[in-house]
């Protein structure tokens, strides 16, 4: 039989354990008590400051920028998935050089700029958040952060940050513009700049607690949600824009010219279907482009329009009832005016032309003689009504006003040269709008680049819903001018039969003008060659204007710009299935 342990021994052991536990508990409570007294009474400010240093971090929640689309909803600029790379300077400061080197190599960013962002800011030594890079494609950002993690460095993280993408590359880039990185100086260009307030939306923010460099899961957390930007719809047809840019590029390169512009308008509404510039650039890589190529030359460059302006001179004369298309003019081989001598671009003996012939043959002398029918100030008045000297205000930054000299300064010579497009200056959209006035039955409709109505960042209301109209010439005068312009594209009569389109009645006008050199302030021998017109001539649907600046070698409005006009206009008529009117073309006498 086994021996039993005395009961009293068990009882004593139990009492001992209880007493020991009470002693340990009392010691723990004492430690907490001392710590509490220390926190609340002895040095509360020091510990509060330490808590703040660990404390709250505020990070942005970027709004998604609105898209810019063409008239059919095709994206020209949109926001796609991207990330920002951010840093905790307290954790990256020690290894800033190594981290900056990795990011610079992975993301092709400036090493020294990265270095400054990764180091502590002396003005904010306790800051726990800093931008390192914005709008980085998600795959690139993740790969860069992974490389930093693999190297054993801490303090780098990512946040959502939509990336601006331009799917068409250079398509409408001179209009749409580009975005700069948010924390860099500048606001980009083009419509991205003009409508930044509409497109940008409003960023939100999130504030949360961190401890030991990490977010505290159940700590304080507040959020202000972002408000996404609104979309902007253009009147541009992406397909027409793409085609116009390609045709224009080929012509400018073929002529070894400095630049060019091509504009296509809906004749009835003034909506801009294409506004092409060359040279252009890839809006995804604006930094790789020349600064001169980033804007729209069609709006910013001014030049003397040359013979295309003769359409405006004749329009005013017909509107006043001073002439008819059959009015006869004796055209000498040269014409003295004040202290100058006016010549035609072609050598000739004395000619007997009708005014339709003056337009068809593009005679400077014949135009000057016809313009003598005007009373003082009348030609200026018509040019003013046609929009010369006035911005079109379509919503693009950098648009020029052009130059229409004050009527009080006009002399006999001013009147003469202005009548055939020298001594006045325009931008390409101004000239396209003026020619479209004839196509639109004599009523000028302000051109539109924006569908509906939108407000620019400077507060201007623009768009198709606020387009203005005013009558410049009578419908009868516009119809007569249209028939005179048809003779330009008529085989055997005009200067540009190659600009005609089989089966359609096409109204057109060539232009060749001397240009003033930037250095000498004088005519330096360079030219601007152009072509403007519309079709069908008797029921206009589209107006196209093309100008090519400073071509080399042999160049002319009909031979250099005319083919671009014909190709773009043909494309428009086919794309929009515009049938020929089936009426007989104009047949006006050009000589007598």
Question: Catalytic pick from 307, 363, 419, 530?
Answer: 307
Question: What does the alpha-carbon distance between residue 157 and residue 136 come to, in Å, rounded to a whole number?
Answer: 13
Contact 347, 334 (CB under 8 A): no
Question: What does the alpha-carbon distance between residue 266 and residue 450 come to, in Å, rounded to a whole number?
Answer: 13
Please count the CA atoms within 13 angstroms of the CA of 421 that sit on its side-chain side: 30
Mapped onto helix, strand or coil, the DSSP state of residue 507 is strand
Name the residue among 311, 583, 338 with its Cα closest to residue 432: 311
Helix (H) or strand (E) segment spanning residue 76: strand 75-80
Phi and psi angles of residue 156, each rounded to the nearest 5 degrees, phi first: -110, 135
Question: What does the alpha-carbon distance between residue 76 and residue 165 come to, in Å, rounded to a whole number?
Answer: 8
Longest dimension (CA), the chain: 154
Helix (H) or strand (E) segment spanning residue 61: strand 56-61
Name the residue among 523, 489, 551 with its Cα closest to residue 362: 489
Question: What does the alpha-carbon distance between residue 77 and residue 69 come to, in Å, rounded to a whole number?
Answer: 7
DSSP at 71: T
Based on the residue annotation, tell me whether 307 is a catalytic residue of this protein: yes
Contact 166, 280 (CB under 8 A): no
Sign of the torsion angle spanned by Cα atoms 356, 361, 362, 364: negative
Contact 536, 530 (CB under 8 A): no
Q: Which residues of 156-187 are buried (b: 16+ CB within 10 A; e: fewer)?
A: bbbbebbbbbbebebbbbbbbbbbbeeeeeee
Question: What does the alpha-carbon distance between residue 294 and residue 450 come to, in Å, rounded to a whole number?
Answer: 20
Helix (H) or strand (E) segment spanning residue 329: strand 328-331
Residues carrying an active site annotation = 307
């Amino acid at each position: 039989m086994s021996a039993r342990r005395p009961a009293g021994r068990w009882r004593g052991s139990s009492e001992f354990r209880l007493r020991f536990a009470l002693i340990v508990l009392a010691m723990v409570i004492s430690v907490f008590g001392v710590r509490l007294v220390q926190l609340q009474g002895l040095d509360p400010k020091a510990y509060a400051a330490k808590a703040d240093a660990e404390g709250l971090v505020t990070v942005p929640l970027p709004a998604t920028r609105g898209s810019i689309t063409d008239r059919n909803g095709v994206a020209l600029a949109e926001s796609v998935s991207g990330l920002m790379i951010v840093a905790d300077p307290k954790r990256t400061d020690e290894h800033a050089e190594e981290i900056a080197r990795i990011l610079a190599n992975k993301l092709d960013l400036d090493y020294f700029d990265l270095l400054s962002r990764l180091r502590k800011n002396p003005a904010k030594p306790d800051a726990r958040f800093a931008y390192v890079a914005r709008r980085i494609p998600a795959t690139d950002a993740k790969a860069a952060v992974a490389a930093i993690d693999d190297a054993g460095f801490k303090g780098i993280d990512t946040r959502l940050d939509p990336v601006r993408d331009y799917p068409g590359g250079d398509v409408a880039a001179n209009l749409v513009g580009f975005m700069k990185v948010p924390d860099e100086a500048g606001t980009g260009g083009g419509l991205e700049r003009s409508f930044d307030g509409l497109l940008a939306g409003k960023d939100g923010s999130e504030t949360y607690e961190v401890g030991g460099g990490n977010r505290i899961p159940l700590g304080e957390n507040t959020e202000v949600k972002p408000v996404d930007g609104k979309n902007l719809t253009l009147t541009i047809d992406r397909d027409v824009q793409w085609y116009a840019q390609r045709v224009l590029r080929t012509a400018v390169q073929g002529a070894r010219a400095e630049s060019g512009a091509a504009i296509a308008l809906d004749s009835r509404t003034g909506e801009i279907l294409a506004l092409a510039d060359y040279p252009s650039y890839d809006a995804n890589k604006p930094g790789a482009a020349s600064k001169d190529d980033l804007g729209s030359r069609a709006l910013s460059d001014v030049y003397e329009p040359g013979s295309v302006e003769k359409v405006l001179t004749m329009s005013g004369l017909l509107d006043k009832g001073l002439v008819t298309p059959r009015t006869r003019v004796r055209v000498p081989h040269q014409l003295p005016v004040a202290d100058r001598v006016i010549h035609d671009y072609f050598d000739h003996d004395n000619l007997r032309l009708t005014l339709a012939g003056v337009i068809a043959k593009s005679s400077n002398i014949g135009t000057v003689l016809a313009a003598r029918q005007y009373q003082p100030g009348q030609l200026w008045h018509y040019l003013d009504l046609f929009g010369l000297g006035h911005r079109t205000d379509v919503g693009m930054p950098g648009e020029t006003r052009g130059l229409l000299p004050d009527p009080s300064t006009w002399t006999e010579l001013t009147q003469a040269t202005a009548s055939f497009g020298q001594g006045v200056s325009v931008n390409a959209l101004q000239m396209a709008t003026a020619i479209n006035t004839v196509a639109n039955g004599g009523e000028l409709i302000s051109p539109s680049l924006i569908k509906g109505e939108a407000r620019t960042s400077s507060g201007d209301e623009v768009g198709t819903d606020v387009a203005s109209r005013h009558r410049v010439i009578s419908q009868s005068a516009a119809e007569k001018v249209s028939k005179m312009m048809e003779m330009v594209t008529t085989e055997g009569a005009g200067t540009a039969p190659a600009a005609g389109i089989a089966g359609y009645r096409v109204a057109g006008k060539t232009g060749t003008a001397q240009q003033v050199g930037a250095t000498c302030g004088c005519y330096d021998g360079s030219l601007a060659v152009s072509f403007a017109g519309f079709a069908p001539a008797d029921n206009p649907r589209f107006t196209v204007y093309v100008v090519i600046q400073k071509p080399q070698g042999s160049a002319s409005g009909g031979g250099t710009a005319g083919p671009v006009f014909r190709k773009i206009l043909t494309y428009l008529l086919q794309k929009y299935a515009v049938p020929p009117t089936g009426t007989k073309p104009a047949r006006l006498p050009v000589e007598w």
